[in-house]
């Protein structure tokens, strides 16, 4: 049944097939949303980032590749965000998803994207292909009344709309590069403008920060908040909290070390939500040179990389880190190098300590005496994303 399957580019005429597979995978696509779905799909088709597997003329599996950038060590690294991975039920469990994902990896490399990330509905298939947990999307819940009283009344803020998209991106870039942030996505300015232009989202802008929030099931929910100073943080959170006469709670997509946890008197609800995402290197030298590293860290170490799916990552490499930048170059060394597979490399890149990787069987060899220095180079704030894709 799976012999004659081939990897294909999704074209407009395949979209009925894709919708059929998608409905069987994620639930029905409401008729009211069909047009919007097709418009979104076309953007991926136009740029060769909607791929699939066909049996004869029929598409039986498909996936989208977002061309994002992702902050690592305060620098933006181009990233292939994999989404809408679906296989028709009668073809599942026969290697079709793996064939599709191998094509996805190859296409992402052709597109010059050195890393890839995804939110897994099931981890097994992605682990087999070299993905490993890279971070989480955290959502905390605060009593709205606690935020209302945070102050910041001297800070002037105004409503933000689609025309402020560029300014928001600037504020995010300033904040994320200064804080050497790990993980968040960079969306195209047009998408940020769409988000701000949506009348169900409420954006407010200060000189050095902004907040965007909306209603969520009777609560308020903060999609993103950036504040360059304590006063602005207080003012923006208090603006959201001003809804406390109607909304009991404010949910917020913020990282565990966000300053809000240090500003509110009471801790966030213990039922925080975390959605984990997985990461993979597609071009290890470009992934290393594209990111930032801990500024004071200095490293000269050999790595032996073994990657069953991406041949270009294989072999012995020399990793140098100095002055906040890194380089991975082919090595001729012969001593005992730190050995990592694709999963170990991804997890290390995301700041997982080598002691954990060794205990999970994802790293071996080298000198454990050097582990601390390697960990420090890759370490940083908790890696996170604010958005699901």
For binding to ligand COA (CB under 6 A), which residues are involved?
25, 85-87, 92-98, 120-122, 124-125, 128
Closest CB to ligand COA: residue number: 97
Q: CB under 8 Å to 22, separation ≥6 — which residues?
A: 29, 62, 84, 86
- We find the least distance from the C-beta atom of residue 27 to ligand COA, in angstroms, to be 10
Q: What phi and psi, each to the nearest 5 degrees, are found at residue 66?
A: -80, 140
In the complex with ligand COA, which residue's Cβ is closer, 1 or 355? Answer: 1
Q: What phi and psi, each to the nearest 5 degrees, are found at residue 204?
A: -135, 140
- Would you call 73 helix, strand, or coil by DSSP? coil
In the complex with ligand COA, which residue's Cβ is closer, 19 or 169? Answer: 19
- We find the least distance from the C-beta atom of residue 308 to ligand COA, in angstroms, to be 13
In the complex with ligand COA, which residue's Cβ is closer, 52 or 353? Answer: 52
- We find the least distance from the C-beta atom of residue 86 to ligand COA, in angstroms, to be 5
Q: CB under 8 Å to 252, separation ≥6 — which residues?
A: 139, 140, 141, 142, 221, 222, 225, 260
Cα–Cα distance measured from residue 317 to residue 328, given in angstroms and rounded to the nearest whole number: 6
In the complex with ligand COA, which residue's Cβ is closer, 98 or 382? Answer: 98
Query: Of the candidates 310, 329, 366, 356, which has an alpha carbon nearest to the alpha carbon of residue 80?
Result: 310
In the complex with ligand COA, which residue's Cβ is closer, 95 or 256? Answer: 95
In the complex with ligand COA, which residue's Cβ is closer, 211 or 282? Answer: 282
- We find the least distance from the C-beta atom of residue 133 to ligand COA, in angstroms, to be 14
Count other C-beta atoms under 10 Å from residue 259's C-beta. 14
In DSSP terms, 365 is beta-bridged to 338
- We find the least distance from the C-beta atom of residue 199 to ligand COA, in angstroms, to be 31
- Would you call 157 helix, strand, or coil by DSSP? coil
- We find the least distance from the C-beta atom of residue 238 to ligand COA, in angstroms, to be 38
SS3 track for 120-131 = CCCCHHHHHCCC
- We find the least distance from the C-beta atom of residue 241 to ligand COA, in angstroms, to be 35
In the complex with ligand COA, which residue's Cβ is closer, 93 or 218? Answer: 93
CB 246 within 8 A of CB 253: no
In the complex with ligand COA, which residue's Cβ is closer, 93 or 335? Answer: 93
- We find the least distance from the C-beta atom of residue 20 to ligand COA, in angstroms, to be 12
Tell me the longest C-alpha to C-alpha distance in the chain.
69
342: its two tokens: 């694709």
- Would you call 337 helix, strand, or coil by DSSP? coil
Cα–Cα distance measured from residue 192 to residue 190, given in angstroms and rounded to the nearest whole number: 5
């Amino acid at each position: 049944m799976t012999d004659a399957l081939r990897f294909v580019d999704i074209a407009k005429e395949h979209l009925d097939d894709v919708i059929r597979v998608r409905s069987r995978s994620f639930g029905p696509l409401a008729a009211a949303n069909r047009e919007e779905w097709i418009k979104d799909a076309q953007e991926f088709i136009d740029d060769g980032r909607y791929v699939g597997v066909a049996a004869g003329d029929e598409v039986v599996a498909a996936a989208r590749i977002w061309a994002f950038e992702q902050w690592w060590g305060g620098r933006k690294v181009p990233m292939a965000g994999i989404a809408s991975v679906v296989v028709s039920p009668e073809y599942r469990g026969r290697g079709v998803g793996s064939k599709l994902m191998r094509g996805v990896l190859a296409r992402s490399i052709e597109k010059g994207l050195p890393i890839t990330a995804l939110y897994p509905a099931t981890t097994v298939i992605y682990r087999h292909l070299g993905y490993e947990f890279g971070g989480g999307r955290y959502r905390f819940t605060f009593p709205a009344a606690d935020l209302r009283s945070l102050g910041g009344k001297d800070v002037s803020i105004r409503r933000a709309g689609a025309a402020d998209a560029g300014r928001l991106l600037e504020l995010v870039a300033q904040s994320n590069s200064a804080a050497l942030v790990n993980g968040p996505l960079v969306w195209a300015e047009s998408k940020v403008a769409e988000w701000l232009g949506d009348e169900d989202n409420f954006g407010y802008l200060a000189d050095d920060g902004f907040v965007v929030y909306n209603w969520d099931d009777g609560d308020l929910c903060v999609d993103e908040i950036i504040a360059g100073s304590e006063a602005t943080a207080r003012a923006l959170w208090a603006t959201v909290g001003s809804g406390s006469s109607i909304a009991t709670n404010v949910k917020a997509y913020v990282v565990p070390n966000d300053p809000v946890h240090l500003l509110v008197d009471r801790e966030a609800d213990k039922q925080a939500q975390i959605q984990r995402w997985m990461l993979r290197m597609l071009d290890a030298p470009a992934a290393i040179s594209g990111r930032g590293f801990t500024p004071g860290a200095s490293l000269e170490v050999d790595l032996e990389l073994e990657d069953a799916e991406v041949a270009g990552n294989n072999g012995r490499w020399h990793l140098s880190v100095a002055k906040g930048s890194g380089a991975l170059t082919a090595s001729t060394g012969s001593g005992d190098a730190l050995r990592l597979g694709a999963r170990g490399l991804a997890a290390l890149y995301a700041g997982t300590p080598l002691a954990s990787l060794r205990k999970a069987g994802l790293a071996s060899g080298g000198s454990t005496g050097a582990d601390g220095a390697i960990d420090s180079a890759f370490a940083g704030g908790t890696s996170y994303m604010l958005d699901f894709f």
